A and B are shown apart, each in its own frame.
Chain A
Amino acid sequence: MLQDTFPLALDIAGLCKRFDRPAVEGLNLRVKSGEFYMLVGPNGAGKTTTLKMVSGLLKPDKGAISVFGIDALADPIAAKQITGWLSDEPMIYDKLTPMEYLEFVSGLWSVDAHTAERRSRDLLHWLGLDDNANERCEKFSRGMRQKVALAGALVHEPRLIILDEPLTGLDAGSARLVKNVLAEKVQGGSSVVMSTHILEIAERMADRIGVIANGHLIAEGTLDELRDRTGIAGASLEDMFLSIVARSRAAA
């Protein structure tokens, strides 16, 4: 059981971001250290925008973001040093091999060469990419590219791992591998904030689940807490999710 005395891995307060219309409105979110937090919500709910703001890829219009006590808006470099980011669209370099890619990422995060190489080999081994470690990524399938990108997000051993729909396009075997790696990272003390639309995964892996709609966090808690809140005994996350979102829409 997570202790409240642990430092917060992520503390978001009053976060706002507007594009043509408000994408995130006054969002408050707290993720404890060593917690696996899942963010679920319908398309266009504001999940990616929120995660991008946490990773320093978007500037919020208003609000505060703190990563392990570091003000991510005032000192983004320090916050980025302990954060890893992975998007649903694997952004890697076609002309680099996975090892070269991980060497590059390690350089950006100033990991020493010996450690970086050892971790890279371990990660590629865990992700089943041993045989492809020295082939250029241009030959890779989408799943392989996503695994290389995940290795890049983990090679500097971030304390906070932000993942935006990381399992999109992965086959069952690859998805299992990724989930195992993430579970291992959480056991090792890292915190994970992950958005997903695959509710079974959220149900099985998350310590806590946050439901976001129209830029607001409309429900949050463990699976049991969410069941209590919806009042549907023995309900699956899918049932609860649909019920919460429907109520939120009705209230709006």
Chain B
Amino acid sequence: MSAARSFTWFAEHESRLAWRDMLSMMTAGRRDRERRVAIGVAIFLVFMHGVAFLVLRRYLNEGIRPDLSTLVAITTGILLSGSAMLSQAMESVTRTFYARSDLEFILSAPVRADKLFAVRIGAMALTAALMSMLLIGPFIDVLVWRNGLRWLGAYGVLIAVSLATTALAVVLTFTLFQLIGAKRTRLAAQIVAAIIGGLFVIGLQLAAMFSAGSYSRLAFLQSRYVMARAPGLSSIMWWPARAVLGDGYCLFFVAGAGVALFVAITALYAPRFANYAIAASGSWHSAGRKRQSVGLFKIESAAATLRHKERLLILRDPWLISQSLMQLLYLVPPALLLSRSFESRSGAPVILVPVLIMAAGQLAGGLAWLTISGEDAPDLVNSAPVSASRILRAKIEAVLQCIAVIFCPFTMVLALISPAQALIAIVGVTCASASSAAIQLWFRSQAARSQFRRRHTSSRIATLAEAFVSITWAAVGAVAASGSWLALAVAALAILILLAVRSVSPGKA
């Protein structure tokens, strides 16, 4: 097979797999759902365009000028989506290294593997661009519709950013490989990806808090503090923003830079991909830690054994740790806000309570799925002389213990400033975590732990319900923290939602 032919052949093969993979993820593997999914996507896009219109209406009415505040806002948007794309691409590169599915088979074939990896790097860039387009595209479309075709340049910038961030992700992951080896890169890369994903937005939040004294990122970006320190209008730093605004010269430069960087990095690194993938494969066979001493078994009750196992598996799941770390990173700004409140004794801000409750609900949902549905040895556990209810109870206890360990420090510091708000936070965190765990329990369906990434596809009702109930409990916390008895009414709403979810769960429906 010629080089060019093998390239296009791989591209066709990969596109087919990617398309079927995405379709199966959207439809949870059921062909009869394709039409419903298409309708759902269409509704989502219409909804997003509506949201974009409402958000942009004020700016469109006022007229968008290429002044410093506009350039700052657009550049910030580009950096935000860029950090998310970089995080996603790093995740994808790491996955490609360690995925054993078809890699060994393809590497054993008499074709040049660098073509395959070049296609896979391209697919990563394309995926990052498409994911961003899903969220940013409606805003661009509204701007094109109401403000002229020049805004189409934004799509060019989006693609250029996806190419550049994918190239950067490849370089970063390869550097990690060289620095710390194949064995440690898997966990390290996922943690770095999580940090990158949250770093920019958190950094912005922190800057807003400490320089402008505001929790609002938008207010911070428009503040005199930022304007006074921003580079002049002619700076090259604004070229991507100018390209978004339709400046042809800047668009040509930004798109060209993105493509050039991507092509150069792909040409340089694709041939090395196979060696690294083989090294990653070899890392599985290296010797593990030895533990030869005796008296190591600590066996208590069956429930304690189950809880211990769940905690151990949670701690050893690199992907889960990176995802949880990302969620926890978002708690850094409120934590700093908490410490500032503590120093000034000015009373904890109301915003802390709902943030903690929301984070707890979301984290508990993921952990509950892993422990309840993501059981890798269901036959073993079910054949043990332990009742099914005791098994489930032990698993939920393990989740709640993890939540308690994570959120206790926050609530303890909060208690030093405002015992009442700490109490509200504790009740809210407990309710949100218990609700998420209950939803996962009602909608449980056996799956391999490795399917965690796709847990949302098994039941979209459960996913939506989990998010909705967490938000409602966060609202309860916010209203209660502001001292209103209306919190009871919102709490009743949360319970009603839970009851409604219970009534449509597979066990009840």
Contacts and interface: CB of A to CB of B under 8 A. Distances in A.
Interface string B145-161: 00000000000000000
B294, B301, B309, B313: residue with the most chain A Cβ atoms closer than 10 Å: B309
B387 interface: yes
In this complex, the interface size class of chain A, counting residues with CB under 8 Å from chain B, is 35 or more
B290 A107 contact: no
Contacts of A85: 379-380, 383
B377 A91 contact: yes
B104 interface: no
Q: Decide if the interface of chain B is mainly helix, strand, loop or mixed.
A: loop
Contacts of B299: 103, 106-107, 110-113, 116
Interface stretch (B41-49, B66-74, B280-288, B489-497): B280-288
Contacts of B287: 135
B278 to A, nearest CB: 15
A134 B290 CA distance: 5
Interface string A120-143: 100000000000111110110000
A78 interface: yes
A93 B376 contact: yes
A110 B305 CA distance: 9
Contacts of A149: 380
A152 interface: yes
B292 interface: yes
A64 to B, nearest CB: 19
Nearest to B383: A85
Nearest to B285: A139
B302 interface: yes
A99 B291 contact: yes
Interface residues of B, number: 39
Nearest to B300: A107
Contacts of A179: none
A80 interface: yes
Contacts of A133: 291
A104 B295 CA distance: 15
Contact of A95 (B316, B378, B387): B316
Contacts of B379: 55, 57, 85, 87, 91
Given A92-B376, A93-B376, A107 B284 contact: no
Contacts of A77: 385-387
Contacts of B387: 77
A203 interface: no
Nearest to B290: A134
A166 B317 CA distance: 29
Given A117-B294, A134-B288, A107 B377 contact: no
Interface of A: 55-57, 77-78, 80-81, 83, 85, 87, 91-97, 99-100, 103-114, 116-117, 120, 132-136, 138-139, 149, 152
Shortest Cβ-Cβ A-B pairs, 9 listed? A107-B305, A135-B288, A108-B384, A91-B377, A95-B316, A81-B385, A80-B385, A113-B297, A85-B383
Interface of B: 284-285, 287-292, 294-302, 304-306, 308-309, 312-313, 316-317, 376-387, 449
16 contacts: A57-B379, A57-B383, A80-B385, A87-B379, A92-B376, A96-B309, A100-B312, A107-B299, A107-B301, A109-B302, A110-B385, A112-B299, A114-B297, A116-B299, A132-B288, A134-B288
